[in-house]
């Protein structure tokens, strides 16, 4: 069953190391195209004491990265309704993200 744009939650966990400008521009363009709300969280700005207030899928990843339990990367991560999409392969990562958005909205792929 298709969702309305307001029901598709896009969370963007930004790694500011090197590519956040590129990824923010691309993702905000996608969200604009499909009329989705984009919630952006920059890892640099997240204090340890604020982690509990983040969406659960975001806070879990932040905790794993900061504890050293999970191997790291310089890449940002997109969550669509809680499903994780690491942006680790241009342009494929964004193609996957857009496909997922279109599937949720019930749109035909070209």
Q: What residues make contact with other proteins under the rule CB under 8 A?
A: 14-22, 24-25, 42-46, 62, 65-75, 86, 88, 90-91
Output the smallest distance, CB 18 to other proteins, in A.
5
99 Cβ neighbours under 8 A, 6+ residues apart: 109
Q: Residue 54's CB: how many other CB atoms inside 10 A?
A: 18
Residues in Cβ contact with 95 at an 8 Å cutoff, skipping those fewer than 6 apart: none
Whose Cβ is closer to other proteins: residue 86's or residue 105's?
A: 86
- Least gap, CB of 109 to other proteins (angstroms): 20
């Amino acid at each position: 069953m298709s969702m309305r744009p307001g029901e598709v939650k896009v969370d963007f966990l930004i790694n500011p190391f090197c590519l956040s400008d590129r990824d923010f521009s691309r993702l905000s363009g996608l969200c604009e195209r499909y009329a989705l709300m984009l919630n952006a969280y920059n890892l640099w700005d997240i204090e340890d004491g604020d982690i509990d207030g983040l969406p659960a899928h975001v806070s879990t990843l932040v905790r794993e990265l900061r504890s050293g339990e999970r191997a790291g990367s310089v890449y940002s991560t997109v969550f669509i309704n809680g499903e994780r999409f690491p942006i680790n392969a241009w342009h494929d990562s964004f193609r996957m993200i857009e496909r997922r958005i279109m599937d949720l909205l019930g749109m035909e792929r070209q």
